[in-house]
Structure 1
Amino acid sequence: MTQLTRRTLLSAGGVAALTALCGCSPSPGGESAPSSASEGRPERATTPPRTDDPGIVLVYFSRPGENYWEGGRRDLDVGNTKRLAQMIAERIDCDMYEIIAADPYPHAYDPTVERNVREQENDARPEIDSDFPDLSAYDAVMIGSPVWNTRAPMIMRTFLDRADALTGMTVHPFLTYAVGEGSVVDDYVELCPDADVRDGLAVRGEDVDGSGNAVDEWLRGNGLLERALPGN
């Protein structure tokens, strides 16, 4: 499997180019979310930042509940993006920060889709209900989300606004999808003009549990395995 550019994400299935989601396609799908959108209540705490050398922080948003799954629906106790984030965190030395929506998304799939459509149409910034990390402690961020209606959920833009568009940081995007990666990474390139946005990892939601090799390849291709945990 080869490392792909940020405009063509690495697929866990080895597909070089992914089909972009259409406006009516499943979007809480890798988390499957709604077409226009994809956990139990997340962990609210993040491990303390390092005080010696700048480190890396893994930031993600994920939605459990009813998700798109193989053309149908399936209830997930842990959302696909959170599972992928946990796989990454098992491999490298990083701190974790989970983005939690102050107004939680519905458990049901279709209402989540409908809410996501409204938020996209209104260029909304859903409020984050979690303590914001001190990003000055880090030189790199891995940022993960599902693909909802071809884009990252709008709460990711809330995070970017508060994080000053990750200015001066190296950004490693990862995402889960139902049909394709959409414009998520290109959006980060546009929204974070003063950040170094690197190659992305895209994994189909249904394939997350078997994506270990793809995760390893992505980490290795971006030089992140140099931060491997002892024993890895």
Structure 2
Amino acid sequence: MTTTPSANPGSKVLLVYFSRPGENYWYGDRRNLDIGNTKVLAEMIAARIECDSYEIRATDPYPDAYNPTVERNSREQDDSARPAIAGDLPDVSGYGTVLLGSPVWGSRAPMIMSTFVDSVDLAGKEILPFVTYAVSGMSGIDEDYRAALTDSIVADGLPIRGETVADAGPDVESWIAANRLTRR
């Protein structure tokens, strides 16, 4: 993994993530998760660094069942939808670094991440993406953010396979060090 050293070392950090519990892919089968994989990863990161956290929640929550979620995601991607986010968005003006976390759905970040990116001013901020995935790795999500956030610095992302997220500590530690994030 290559990562650009932090452009804003020591700057205030906001960790933003979207995660979905319920029925998830599990080594070719399905498994029910009380806490979504991305939330597990986000909490792992937040426990290690100085940051504030914001969880993106959909106004219209995604189904608990896997197949209906896949179908909804396909429609949203085909329509370039911007699903509504429940509640107020965070004020990002005081942050120099924003960590953006999501699962990989259909080889992209869920469209609700585009809602967030389109709705807040991330110009001049360093963006550090992280994802959980089943088969696709980072899937070019960091490149998608670079294309959408031309006035931001988007570093290489941290991809963690969903099935192994509980064991991601060493990868998280390396990513934190490479990006010079302030430790707790």
TM-score (normalised: structure 1): 0.75
Q: CA deviation at 1:54?
A: 5.0
Q: CA deviation at 1:5?
A: 4.8
User: In the TM superposition, what whole-angstrom CA distance separates every residue of 1:189-223 from its partner, at most 9, and x where no partner exists?
Assistant: 10000000012100000010001000000010111
The yes-or-no answer on 1:228 pairing with 2:183 is: yes
What stretches of structure 2 of length at least 5 have no aligned partner? 5-9
Aligned twin of 2:128:
172
User: In the TM superposition, what whole-angstrom CA distance separates every residue of 1:13-40 from its partner, at most 9, and x where no partner exists?
Assistant: xxxxxxxxxxxxxxxxxxxxxxxxxxxx
CA contact (8 A) 2:3 2:178 kept: no
Question: What is the rounded CA distance, in whole Å, between the counterparts of 2:3 and 2:145 in structure 1?
Answer: 14
- Letter of the 1:83 partner, please give it: V
Aligned twin of 1:92:
49
Question: What is the rounded CA distance, in whole Å, between the counterparts of 1:95 and 1:196 in structure 2?
Answer: 20
The CA RMSD over aligned residues, in Å, is 1.2
CA contact (8 A) 1:64 1:75 kept: yes
TM-score (normalised: structure 2): 0.94
**Percent of residue pairs bearing the same amino acid type:** 56
Question: What is the rounded CA distance, in whole Å, between the counterparts of 2:65 and 2:77 in structure 1?
Answer: 19
CA contact (8 A) 1:199 1:222 kept: no
Aligned residue pairs total 178
Give the counterpart of 1:160 among 109, 114, 117. 117
For 1:70-219, list aligned pairs within 5 A. Answer: 70-164=27-121, 166-180=122-136, 181-219=138-176
CA contact (8 A) 2:42 2:101 kept: yes
Question: What is the rounded CA distance, in whole Å, between the counterparts of 2:3 and 2:108 in structure 1?
Answer: 18
- Letter of the 2:125 partner, please give it: M
Question: What is the rounded CA distance, in whole Å, between the counterparts of 2:46 and 2:78 in structure 1?
Answer: 34
Q: CA deviation at 1:130?
A: 2.4
CA contact (8 A) 2:3 2:179 kept: no
Q: CA deviation at 1:131?
A: 1.7
- Letter of the 2:96 partner, please give it: D
What stretches of structure 1 of length at least 5 have no aligned partner? 7-52
Question: What is the rounded CA distance, in whole Å, between the counterparts of 2:156 and 2:143 in structure 1?
Answer: 11
